[in-house]
Amino acid sequence: MARHSGPVLVDTNVILECWRIDAWKALVGGYGVETVEDCVIETQTGFQRRRAEQQIDNAQLRASLTAVQKVGNKEYAAAAVRDALFSSLDVGERSLWAHALTRSEAWVLCGPDKASLRLGVRLGFRDRLVALETLLNDVGFRSKVSLRTNYTAKWHAQALNEIIVLEGPKRP
């Protein structure tokens, strides 16, 4: 598959994982990385439970992103009526999907949460769901620290296959 050249939408977990393995500069250097305000806020919570090297500087994070999107009630409502699963997502993921669904260009979404992946499959966006490992490999990043399992391409493919089997063919 060719390297994606459009916007890459990332959730909080992807930001945290990139920071943990020192891959953030590689990711934002290779892609137009965007997120939503709620995901940025989530990166700033839990500082007391993180080691110093895992703490994310808010100003540095915002400056490195192509955009931090704001999501309003109109976007939330439009996403909520598309699928009931939307309301079960975490706040950041809900905001990210509400924003993604307003876009017309060829975006991809990177996030390891199974409920988020399931929503993407149910809404017909399976081909736009991408593993962090795939993105990092495509920009030539090789970490000295291993990615956690749910950020790998293998885990991502297995999770999507499980979701597709669970969802099965829909009949009216």
CATH number of the domain that 74 lies in?
3.40.50.1010
Buried b / exposed e over 17-51, threshold 16 CB at 10 Å, is bbbbbebbebbbebbebbbbebbbebbeeeeeeee
pLDDT in tens, the chain (172 residues): 568 889 999 999 999 999 999 999 999 999 999 999 999 999 998 655 666 656 799 999 999 999 999 999 999 999 999 999 999 999 999 999 999 999 999 999 999 999 999 999 999 999 999 999 999 999 999 999 999 999 999 999 999 999 999 987 665 5
Structural domain boundaries, residue 149 = 7-167
Q: How far apart are CA 73 and CA 99, in angstroms?
A: 11
Q: Is residue 172 part of a domain?
A: no
Residues 35-45 have pLDDT tens digits of 999 999 999 98
Residue 2 lies in a domain: no
Does residue 54 lie within any of the structural domains?
A: yes
- Count of domains in the chain? 1
pTM assigned to the model = 0.93
Has residue 86 been placed in a domain? yes
Answer yes or no: are the C-beta atoms of 1 and 33 closer than 8 Å.
no
Angle between helices 73-80 and 91-100 (to 10 degrees): 90
